């Protein structure tokens, strides 16, 4: 479902209308059918919304209607105005999706964006989607976030913290964990037999031999040495400003970046509309559009479904690779 006051419903309906042109895999939605039907009418989209009792009904129905496994809202959703009263329904949709994929009734989980402030007001105690999914999966290790677009995959080692805190939190152990999880996921989920990881430096010119900082010498290079000793093809530290042009991207399968913007700026520059957020290290496949709830355009018809379409197709490929492996 995602945040019912955001663009999750808009892009879901639009994605279904493009199912043939985009060659989408069949999917069903965990949401309020009445909400989606009313939204389709308001947006002028010819989307027949059909409630289903189980995921088994969805595949046969998908070509002619959008299958929806009902999740009832506590109050009617108003576009652009999140209400904590619906927080329980948002969380319930996540819980049900994970439960279904864990028992094999769904191949993957694709999540629409949530409004964290609204969930926090409803008593949600996790930083975000990723951490909550790790909790539901019973993980003790931290899952890893990957952003993928076109021919670029990036993994930030530190994520939603300030640049100052990112430097303080950057450790060899964190880089090693990100490298291990990323390499394993590239094999299992992307079918790459021998993944190549490019590891970015933190400082300009990758520290210039210590002249511009010692993190490359004291933290990053030792982590790369451990990864290489384990048989992972990791190279670096590389100067971040020369890692992301087209020729450089052909030399690796994923880039390990040291902080949030070092990873997200290049991926959003390469493909702003088509980026996909992927959680690595979970026992099931999870993808998401690489954007937020866009409350300012919710319900207006302006939302672009490209990222959700990419997330659905990426989830299908990942699930297929897991089955084949």
Annotated binding-site residue? 286: yes
3-state class (DSSP) for residue 251: coil
Annotated binding-site residue? 268: yes
Annotated binding-site residue? 245: no
Among residues 79, 160, 90, the alpha carbon closest in space to that of 118 is found at 90
Annotated binding-site residue? 260: yes
Residues 6+ apart with CB under 8 A from 187: 193, 195, 325
Annotated binding-site residue? 277: yes
Annotated binding-site residue? 291: no
Among residues 41, 28, 245, the alpha carbon closest in space to that of 152 is found at 245
* Distance, CA of 77 to CA of 85 (rounded, Å): 10
- CB-based burial, 155-171: b 16+ in 10 Å, e otherwise: bbbbbeeeeeebbeebe
Output the six-digit token pair for 6: 């955001």
Among residues 200, 212, 182, 203, the alpha carbon closest in space to that of 236 is found at 200
* Distance, CA of 87 to CA of 122 (rounded, Å): 6
Q: Are 273 and 306 in contact (CB under 8 A)?
A: yes
* Distance, CA of 230 to CA of 77 (rounded, Å): 51
Question: What is the number of residues in the chain?
Answer: 325
Count Cβ atoms within 10 A of the Cβ of residue 138 and give its class: 0-12 exposed, 13-18 middle, 19 or more buried: exposed
Annotated binding-site residue? 17: no
Enumerate the β-bridge partners of residue 153: 148
Annotated binding-site residue? 205: yes
3-state class (DSSP) for residue 297: coil
Binding-site residue numbers are 129-130, 160, 205, 260, 268, 277, 286
Binding-site residue numbers for a divalent metal cation are 160, 205, 260
Binding-site residue numbers for substrate are 129-130, 268, 277, 286
């Amino acid at each position: 479902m995602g945040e019912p006051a955001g663009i999750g419903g808009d892009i879901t309906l639009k994605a279904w209308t493009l199912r043939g042109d985009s060659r989408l895999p069949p999917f069903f939605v965990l949401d309020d059918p009445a909400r989606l039907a009313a939204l389709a009418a308001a947006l002028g989209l010819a989307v027949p919304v059909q409630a289903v009792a189980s995921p088994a009904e969805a595949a046969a129905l998908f070509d002619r209607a959008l299958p929806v496994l009902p999740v009832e809202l506590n109050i009617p959703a108003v576009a652009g105005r999140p209400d904590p009263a619906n927080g329980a329904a948002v969380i319930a949709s996540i819980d049900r999706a994970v439960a279904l994929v864990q028992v094999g009734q769904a191949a993957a989980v694709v999540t629409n964006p949530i409004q964290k402030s609204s969930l926090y007001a409803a008593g949600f105690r996790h930083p975000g989607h990723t951490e909550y999914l790790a909790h539901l999966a019973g993980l003790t290790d931290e899952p890893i976030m990957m952003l993928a677009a076109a021919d670029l995959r990036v993994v930030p080692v530190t994520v939603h913290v300030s640049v100052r805190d990112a430097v303080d939190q950057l450790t060899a152990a964190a880089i090693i964990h990100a490298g291990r999880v990323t390499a394993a996921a590239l094999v299992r989920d992307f079918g790459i037999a021998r993944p190549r990881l490019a590891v970015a430096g933190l400082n300009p010119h990758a520290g210039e031999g210590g002249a511009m900082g010692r993190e490359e010498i004291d933290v990053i290079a030792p982590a790369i040495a451990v990864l290489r000793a384990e048989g992972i093809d990791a190279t670096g530290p590389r100067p971040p400003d020369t890692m992301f042009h087209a020729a450089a991207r052909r030399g690796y399968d994923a880039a390990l970046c040291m902080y949030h913007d070092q990873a997200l700026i290049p991926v959003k520059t390469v493909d702003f509309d088509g980026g996909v957020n992927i959680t690595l290290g979970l026992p099931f496949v999870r993808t998401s559009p690489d954007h937020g709830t866009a409350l300012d355009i919710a319900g207006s018809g302006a939302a672009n479904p490209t990222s959700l379409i990419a997330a659905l197709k990426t989830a299908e490929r990942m699930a297929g690779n897991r089955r084949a492996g």
